[in-house]
Amino acid sequence: MNIKDVYDLLDRFENSNISELQLEIDGAKLMCKKHSEEPEYKVVRHTKEPEEKTVDATTGIEVKAKIAGTFYRAPSPESEPFVQVGQKVKKGDVIGLIEAMKIMNDIVAPEDGVVSQIVASNEELVSFDDVLIVIDGGK
């Protein structure tokens, strides 16, 4: 086998659907391996252990997430939070936001009352039906 034969063999190997070639002639060895055309992907998930959050809603109204996404306490990073513990709210007041698929969804107070607890942290990933805020009713 001469060098031209080796080049022909390598050219045919490159243009074939064979992924590996091993050849031994007169004690000389040739081994070729193709790299996959398909990129390799790894799925990496960074998760925190969920913190145990206690909600004392014996007299309060739990405001829950209606959609999964990222909870925000303020309209922008530079802004003050919508509400603080102890603050009075009226039915329909915006008390937080959930960003889902690049859309901001208002979280509104379901009735008049006083914010007794803010359960979800700013920029926390929340799931459907997670308690976000507890409001003591004003009735």
Tell me the pLDDT tens digit for each residue of 53-83.
555 545 789 999 999 999 999 999 899 999 9
Q: What is the pLDDT of residue 23?
A: 79
Tell me the pLDDT tens digit for each residue of 74-108.
999 899 999 999 999 999 999 999 998 888 999 99
Please state, as a whole number, how many other Cβ atoms lie within 10 Å of the Cβ of residue 72.
21
Domains recognised in the chain with CATH numbers: 3-33 (no CATH), 60-137 (2.40.50.100)
Q: What is the pLDDT of residue 37?
A: 57
| 8 A C-beta contact, residue 65 and residue 129 | yes
Helix runs in 1-130, H state only: 3-14
Q: Taking CA 113 as the corner, what is the angle to CA 108 and CA 116, rounded to the nearest 5 degrees?
A: 90
Q: Which of 10-14, 16-20, 41-45, 111-115 has the lowest mean pLDDT?
A: 41-45
Cα dist. 1→4, 11, 25, 49 in Å?
A: 8, 15, 8, 63
135: β partners: 61, 115
| 8 A C-beta contact, residue 114 and residue 86 | yes
Q: What is the pLDDT of residue 52?
A: 47
Q: What is the pLDDT of residue 38?
A: 54
